[in-house]
Amino acid sequence: MKKILFAKPSITKKEIDYVNDAVSNGWGENCYDYIHRFTDKLKEYFNSPYVWPTSSCHGALHIILMSLKIGRGDEVIVPDMTWIGSVTPVSWLGATPVFVDVMEDSLCIDPKKIEKAITNKTKAIIAVHPYGNVADMDAILEIGKKYKINVIEDAAESVGSEYKNKKVGSIADFGIISLHGTKMFTSGEGGAILCKRKDLVEKISLIESQGRKSSRRIDFWVDEIGLKYKMSNIQAALALAQFERADDIIKKKIEIFNWYKKQLSLINDITLNPKPEWVKNVYWLPTIIFGKSWAMDLEKRNRLLENLNKKNIAARPIFYPVSSFPMYEDCPENTISQRVFVSGINLPSYFEMSEDDVIYVVDNIKKELNL
Ligand SMILES: Cc1ncc(COP(=O)(O)O)c(C=O)c1O
């Protein structure tokens, strides 16, 4: 039986040619060629003045937080419904993540609740754009400005989505993206820092180069303790090919979502990824949130997923609220994060998927729901 994966990158001759070229020729004096080309491509794609490719999105966030001198005694606001990758570097630096609830439709951090969570220790807000959906950036930036708090956009899951015609990740002063193999575009593992703050360019460069100033690279002098999350030239070759095909990849993801939307249209009381008129949603993962009338609980949702998995359909659950992990304190007030966790599922979406695959997935969902 055919397996319907939840994600899989689209690898064409272009990707293979670029990677072959990097492996064959990208050494010695050519060892940064693809890194430079990819960096320029990201600057153009995001219209972002300062960019550093990294080995992961986690690394990108770690470097930004460190360059902002965030550490012990500081608080960083994050949405409770996100992947732990939005939070781990905050904890590693000794700062305290403050978990704020998300909105029911977009699953993005709720700006109204951010303001209530601000204290005199708050140093940053991490605005995550989950599953292709887009956070309310004007409202979040307004709060950042009012309280003089840095805003970092975590666009790991939504590369290509737009807010008011601007690519997410490039709207706030800082943005991060992921190029993990399941994401919109991939370099295998990878990510990037996007930055608009000229005054922090030197600091970020210093940290991401293990504490070496560019003028002192040759004699190995180190000025401070930095980090090492570099992307390799080979990974950059793969990522460059992917971004050169960005329009095609995004077009297909939107098409897949629209097939789902059509097939799911007769099911009552469900919400799919929203697309307000000021948003372009690339629908990294089509997501169903079952409304209250479905009385979804953990058992019912798990049964649905298990039975879909038995049919070779790799649907998966919405993320646990991060505050429910043993390292953190529970946040019972984050009722929406808790509710969507038990009542939401992500559906498969990848470039090679056909409309028939989508019909197969939805037919099986309907069977499981006795429709
Ligand atoms: C919202 C979010 N932030 C950060 C990350 C971390 O990305 P990476 O695996 O590239 O470090 C992920 C990865 O899944 C993510 O989904």
Ligand 1 atom having least distance to the Cα of 130: 1
**Would you state the structure tokens that stand for residue 153, as one six-digit string?**
């956009």
Each residue of 84-106: pLDDT tens digit?
A: 999 999 999 999 999 999 999 99
Structure confidence at residue 2 as a pLDDT band (50, 70, 90): confident
Q: What CATH fold (topology level) applies to the domain 246-368?
A: Aspartate Aminotransferase, domain 1 (3.90.1150)
Ligand 1 atom having least distance to the Cα of 182: 14
Q: Domain 13-244 class?
A: alpha beta
pTM: 0.98
Each residue of 254-292: pLDDT tens digit?
A: 999 999 999 999 999 999 999 999 999 999 999 999 999
Ligand 1 atom having least distance to the Cα of 191: 10
Per-chain mean pLDDT for the chain: 97
Q: What pLDDT is recorded for position 214?
A: 86
Structure confidence at residue 1 as a pLDDT band (50, 70, 90): confident
Phi, psi of 181, rounded to the nearest 5 degrees: -60, -15
Beta bridge partners of 122: 75
- CA angle at 76 for the pair 72 and 80, rounded to the nearest 5°: 130
Q: What pLDDT is recorded for position 232?
A: 98
Ligand 1 pocket residue status of 187, Cβ below 6 Å: no
Best of 153, 157, 174, 285 to mutate for ligand 1, by most ligand atoms within 8 A of CB?
157
Q: What pLDDT is recorded for position 215?
A: 86
Ligand 1 pocket residue status of 163, Cβ below 6 Å: no
Each residue of 154-213: pLDDT tens digit?
A: 999 999 999 999 999 999 999 999 999 999 999 999 999 999 999 999 999 999 999 999
Distance 312 CA to ligand 1 centre (A): 25
Ligand 1 pocket residue status of 159, Cβ below 6 Å: no
The DSSP 8-state label assigned to residue 119 in this structure reads -
- CA angle at 193 for the pair 128 and 126, rounded to the nearest 5°: 25
Q: In angstroms, what CA-CA distances link 338 with 26, 72, 126, 342?
A: 48, 28, 19, 7
| Residue from 20, 4, 3 nearest 286 by CA | 4
Ligand 1 pocket residue status of 175, Cβ below 6 Å: no
What are the extents of the domains in the chain? 13-244, 246-368
- CA angle at 25 for the pair 23 and 28, rounded to the nearest 5°: 105
Residue 124 has pLDDT above 90, yes or no: yes
Percent of the chain with pLDDT over 70: 100
